[in-house]
Amino acid sequence: MRYNERISKFLIAGVSAAIVNFLLISFFIEIVGFKSFFLKNLANILAIEMSAIYNFSISRLWTWKDAPRKQGKSLVAQFISFNLALLAGIAIRIFSFAVFERWGIFYLLNVAIGIGMAAGIDFILYGKLVFSRTPICEYPGEVAPKRDSLIASANDGGETFVRRSSDM
């Protein structure tokens, strides 16, 4: 997949995940009644994780559809990796939300600022840690190939993939 195409898909998936996040935090604050400083922050954390589950699904199926398909325990490990990759962005979002809430910034604008600050970090970490397309070994228990049997090739999007010479 071309780099520009992946960024476009990442942004579309991210905007849809942001909409899910906005709907969830609005639900918790406006309908459930999470009005205090503590409950608004709790609503923010719940909305972040629930939209992360949505984002993982759409990222796996669409944005990084060329990444190796994980199943069973590997899928759980990939989801955990996704959440770990999110931690940097989540930390920024939780910290900035609390600060901006103290400053009296409207909670939806507050969420939008946090999402914007975290997006770049998320894109890099998803591509490098979660949806990597260059596994060292294709099957559990397989011995890594010898260095001289690997061939690097670049596609037209500038991404580099490592293939075994036997795959060519």
Contact present, 44 and 25 (Cβ < 8 Å):
yes
Q: Which residues contact 17 (CB under 8 A, 6 or more apart)?
A: 51, 52, 54, 55, 58
Domain ranges of the chain: 3-133, 139-168
Q: Write down the pTM of the prediction.
A: 0.64
Residue 151 pairs in a beta bridge with 163
The per-residue pLDDT for range 71-90, each reduced to its tens digit, is: 788 888 888 888 888 888 88
Per-residue pLDDT at 168: 45
Cα Rg for the chain, rounded, in angstroms?
19
The per-residue pLDDT for range 123-158, each reduced to its tens digit, is: 888 888 888 765 444 444 444 444 444 444 444 445
